[in-house]
Amino acid sequence: MTKSFEKLAPWIFVITLFVVWEASCRLFNVSTVILPAPSAIYAAFVRFWSPILSNSFVTLWTTMAGFGLSVAFGLFLGLVVGWSRTIYRGFYPVMIGFNSIPKVAVVPILVMWFGIGEVPAILTAFLISFFPIVVNVATGLATIEPELEDVLRALGASKLDVMRKVGIPRSMPYFFGSLKVAITLAFVGTVVSETVAANSGIGFLMSQAGANFQMPLVFAGLIVLAVEGILMYAATAWLEQRMTGWAFRAQGSAAG
Amino acid sequence: MIELDNISLAYAGRTGPVLALEGTSLSVGQGEFAAVVGPSGCGKSTLMKLVTGLIKPTTGTVSVDGAQVHGPVKMAGMAFQNANLLPWRTVTDNILLPLEIVEPYRSHFRAKKDEYRARVENLLSIVGLQGFGDRYPWELSGGMQQRASLCRSLIHEPKLLMLDEPFAALDAFTREELWCVLRDVWQRLNFTVILVTHDLREAVFLADTIHVMSARPGRIIDTRTVDFARPRDLDVCYEREFTDLVHVLRNKIAEVRKA
């Protein structure tokens, strides 16, 4: 009973949220221009399903492209940065500085370079999401138990051996954990760029709909983004569980 | 086998250079079981790193097996207070790790994997872990993990085994059990051992010679030979000569702690 209730809990919570939303809109007679009720949003879905579908597909693939770039680049850079303390210390301030720049400020530059369209969106998604991957991979490498490193070095292991046998497998839980953060950030990046400068994508659709005071359509866009975000998060969480299940099991062990 | 000649070691601390070791000389023969005891912070672990070539002495020379040490010795087995097993590998794969690194095993690792696995199985049965090879480290108790760690330090049949308080985190019964395991393995394979420990009974029970270190900067201030007949039984711990020797060592360390 409690177990199945626990499984249903997310659904119950979401449904309750929408019911309360709908009820308050009707009860307080909220104008659709301020906050459209779920029923109005649903109507917008039915009416505009075709543009919503095509634009959400654009957002999805640009996000995935940006995310793919940031996984490849983040993993690479993380390994480089985690390789030695000197690189770690030298590189870190630059990384933090770069990460502190609001990416919305970078979009106009990207538009100047690449023009309006998907490329700035992909790059914004990439720029906003690679940082957590780099930091996590580097942390995983930098926190190898010194005693374990001694054991291996006393056997004549090279730095590369230590990385291959210990460092990289050890940083994998950090890496897969960071993917969950990175994928949601990548969505933010894409939509930011689409809102500022694009001619397709959910961000573009929302800014257009907003300009025409079609609030139900704007909210429909938000919900599409939320659903896409949840699905991608679930996919990376599943991947994490599959690839580095040992890290989760280890925590639950009494012998640990 | 091992010669430390008038070693000193200084490293940069927060308030200037710290002298960890000064004028330390130590000599351990082939196949000898040496124990190093001393107050905490006397540089015992530093000594271990010096012998294995992980750090260089500021002055003086270290030689192992007749050759002066300039880098990692590439043949020592090590075990520490924490088992440090890799959680993503099974016990067997953890123990195989040194063979993936040390030559000549490394070059034949793929080809001879079955042979090596048989070797792991054999070692596991010696330390009383038979049948646990396919388990993961976190499925094992602390004592079992430490046994596995001991296997890992021995799998490549090192000529030198360095132990840094390997039994310190275990309960008294498990500890005594593992003393016997170590005793038996050592008697069978006859490698050289340097055991760093706080436990004087452990040192007296296991070692041929016991070196007492002074407080920082550490140096060897006393060396005692233990000549109880081998093989030793745990009962030896309750004999008069045994407790007398533990007492003498205890007083020595109390002295240097005050000084």
Residue from A72, A75, A60, A62 nearest A124 by CA: A62
User: Is the per-residue pLDDT at A254 higher than 50?
Assistant: no
A150:B153 CB<8 A: no
Q: List the end-to-end C-alpha distance of chain B, in Å, as a whole number.
A: 32
B78:A148 CB<8 A: no
Residue from A55, A69, A9, A25 nearest A218 by CA: A55
Q: What is the pLDDT of residue A255?
A: 38
Q: If you compute the radius of gyration of chain B from its CA atoms, what whole number of angstroms results?
A: 19
Map out the domains of chain B as residue ranges.
Answer: 2-258
Class of domain A37-244: mainly alpha
A156:B101 CB<8 A: yes
Distance to chain A for B75, nearest Cα, Å = 5
Burial of A198 (0-12, 13-18, 19+ CB in 10 A): buried
Of all residues in chain B, the one with the smallest CA distance to A252 is B138
Q: Residue written as tokens 């538009």?
A: A111
Which of A87-91, A190-194, A212-216 comes out lowest in average pLDDT? A87-91
The CATH fold of domain B2-258: Rossmann fold (3.40.50)
A151:B156 CB<8 A: no
Residue from B95, B4, B163 nearest A147 by CA: B163
Per-residue pLDDT of B30-87, as tens digits, reads: 999 999 988 877 777 788 888 888 888 888 888 888 888 888 887 788 888 888 899 9
Map out the domains of chain A as residue ranges.
Answer: 1-30, 37-244
Q: Does B78 touch chain A (CB under 8 A)?
A: yes
Q: Does B198 touch chain A (CB under 8 A)?
A: no
Closest partner residue to B76 (CB to CB) among A154, A166, A249 is: A154
Please report residues of B whose CB lies closer than 8 A to that of A156: 72-75, 101-103
Q: 142-161 in A: which are within 8 Å (CB) of B?
A: 145, 147-148, 150-157, 161
User: Is the per-residue pLDDT at A256 higher than 70?
Assistant: no
Assign A6 a pLDDT band (cuts: 50, 70, 90): confident
Q: CA-CA distance, B239 to A206, in Å (whole number)?
A: 87
